Amino acid sequence: MFRLLPRLCALLLVAGLGLQAQAQAQPAAPAAVPVGTAFAQRKAIDQALDFVGRVEAVGRVEVRARVVGFLDAVQFKEGEPIKEGAPLYRIEPDLFEAAVKQAEGALERTRAAELLAAIQLQRAQDLLDKSSGTVVARDQARAARDQAKGAVMGDEASLQTARINLGYTQIFAPISGQIGRTSVTKGNVVGPDSGALTTIVSQDPIYVTFPVSQREFLRYQQGGARPDRSKIGVRIRFQDGSEYGQIGRVDFVNISVDRATDTVVVRATMPNPAGALRDGQLVRVNLQAGQPEQKVVVPQSALIADQGGVYVFVVEDSRAKIRRVKPEPGGSGSDAVIAEGLSGGEVVIVDGLQRVRPGILVQATPASETASRI
């Protein structure tokens, strides 16, 4: 028995060394990947549709010269707000003032001729009454008086035209709004053929027009009743994704369908007190109608797209798992509205997605806390 002890100790030593080698060869368990998470929440979401719209000024005027002359002055600052009736341009008035005086002189001559013709008619009538004159002389005098009266009317019209043309030498703003750049400067000859000298667009309120497809248009007309425009709210977003703070209302729906695009043009009136909306601007239009519906929403940052569609990573038993989802178009601000794939309450990963793989261990931390540490 004592002879077997050394051999037994050797075997135990070899076994221990083997177990130690196996322990050293076996890889350590992977550490959990820290991620930021958020809950999939159920919220009341307005029934809305998104369209691409164009901002249009309610009033848009191209300012033009109505008489030919040298431009004497430009009386406004380009790009500045302008009030109706403010002076914009002045054309040299000298020739037009001379034309007014010439017309006044011609009118004085014809009025004098009318007065003389009236006196001669009265004399011819008096002579006829005394049997000293003839009917022919009286009729000739009456015709001369009528001719003089017609000449007076013609010269009065010429004088009025000359005064109107003189008034056209001073060009005023026809509407209030914001004025654009001037296409001419002092010293140039301008006239009706010069084209637009500048453009004025009104600012508040302002229109937003957008095409609505026949399918969406018919959806709003389901049940045979016409939609109440006063209950349709219109919100818009700019190209950078920011939302405009004012709410507009639909005020016009075109009476015909565009045959080329199969769409109906709809127009909304938007308040624009600060001038944030500009004529011609491209915006996203969000049309809201009907009662809010309960929808599942998640942050937009949780969505990942691949060839199979859109998915999110959810945390289940401390592991990341893929969940295929179907988001609704448009979303709700910074959140995405999920039509299928989530029921609400799931923990979705929103931060650290670049390190996440299906099935790996994750250390979930609310995204708000993760952001506060940065």
Taking the domains of the chain in order of start, what are their residue ranges? 33-46+293-366, 49-58+203-288, 67-91+170-200, 93-169
* pLDDT(203) > 50: yes
Q: How many residues does the chain have?
A: 374
* pLDDT(88) > 90: yes
pLDDT tens digit sequence for 275-331: 888 888 999 988 776 666 778 888 888 888 888 888 988 888 888 888 898 887 655
- Rounded to the nearest 10°, the torsion over CA 356, 362, 366, 371 is -50
Binned at pLDDT 50, 70 and 90, residue 346 comes out as confident
Residues pairing with 69 in the sheet: 190
What the block records as the tokens of 230 is 């006063």
One-letter amino acid of 128: L
Residue 330 confidence (pLDDT): 58
Residue 258 confidence (pLDDT): 82
Distance CA 139, CA 125 (A): 9
Name the one residue in this structure whose structure tokens are 């959806």: 219
Name the one residue in this structure whose structure tokens are 């797209």: 305
**Phi/psi at 231 (5° precision):** -100, 0
Nearest to 107 by CA among 170, 173, 144, 152: 152
Residue 373 confidence (pLDDT): 44
One-letter amino acid of 94: D
First to last CA, the chain: 70
Per CATH, the number for 67-91+170-200 is 2.40.50.100
**Residues whose CB falls within 8 Å of the CB of residue 262, separated by 6 or more in sequence, listed in order:** 213, 214
Bigger pLDDT: 205 or 231?
205
Residue 295 confidence (pLDDT): 83
Report if pTM > 0.85.
Answer: no
Residue 64 confidence (pLDDT): 94
Binned at pLDDT 50, 70 and 90, residue 372 comes out as very low
Least confident of 11-20, 200-209, 253-262, 304-313: 11-20
Query: What is the average pLDDT score of the chain?
Result: 82
What the block records as the tokens of 168 is 């056209």
Least confident of 27-31, 82-86, 120-124, 321-325: 27-31
The helix/strand/coil state of 73 is strand
What the block records as the tokens of 299 is 């942050």
Residue 170, CA distances (Å) to 87, 201, 281, 340 in order: 7, 20, 32, 66
One-letter amino acid of 237: R
Residues pairing with 207 in the sheet: 56, 269
* pLDDT(187) > 70: yes
Distance CA 300, CA 338 (A): 10
Section 216-226 average pLDDT: 59
**Residues whose CB falls within 8 Å of the CB of residue 35, separated by 6 or more in sequence, listed in order:** 315, 320, 349, 351, 352, 353, 355, 356, 362, 363, 364, 365
Residue 6 confidence (pLDDT): 55
Bigger pLDDT: 74 or 290?
74
Distance CA 165, CA 97 (A): 9
One-letter amino acid of 4: L
347 close to 39: Cβ distance less than 8 angstroms: yes
Residue 90 confidence (pLDDT): 94
What the block records as the tokens of 5 is 């002890």
Binned at pLDDT 50, 70 and 90, residue 89 comes out as very high
298 close to 338: Cβ distance less than 8 angstroms: yes
* pLDDT(371) > 60: no
Residue 28, CA distances (Å) to 23, 25, 32, 361 in order: 9, 9, 12, 14
Per CATH, the number for 93-169 is 1.10.287
205 close to 274: Cβ distance less than 8 angstroms: no
Residue range 49-58+203-288 in CATH 2.40.30.170: yes
Residue 291 confidence (pLDDT): 64
Least confident of 124-138, 159-173, 211-225, 330-344: 211-225
The percentage of the chain sitting over the pLDDT mark of 70, rounded to a whole number, equals 83
Distance CA 173, CA 63 (A): 8
Residue range 33-46+293-366 in CATH 3.90.79.10: no
* pLDDT(9) > 60: no
- The answer to whether the bond into 329 is cis (omega within 30° of 0) is no
Q: In CATH terms, are 49-58+203-288 and 93-169 the same topology? A: no
pLDDT tens digit sequence for 10-36: 554 555 545 555 545 455 556 777 888
Residue 163 confidence (pLDDT): 94
Distance CA 79, CA 360 (A): 59
Residue 233 confidence (pLDDT): 80
148 close to 182: Cβ distance less than 8 angstroms: no
Section 240-244 average pLDDT: 85
Bigger pLDDT: 334 or 247?
247
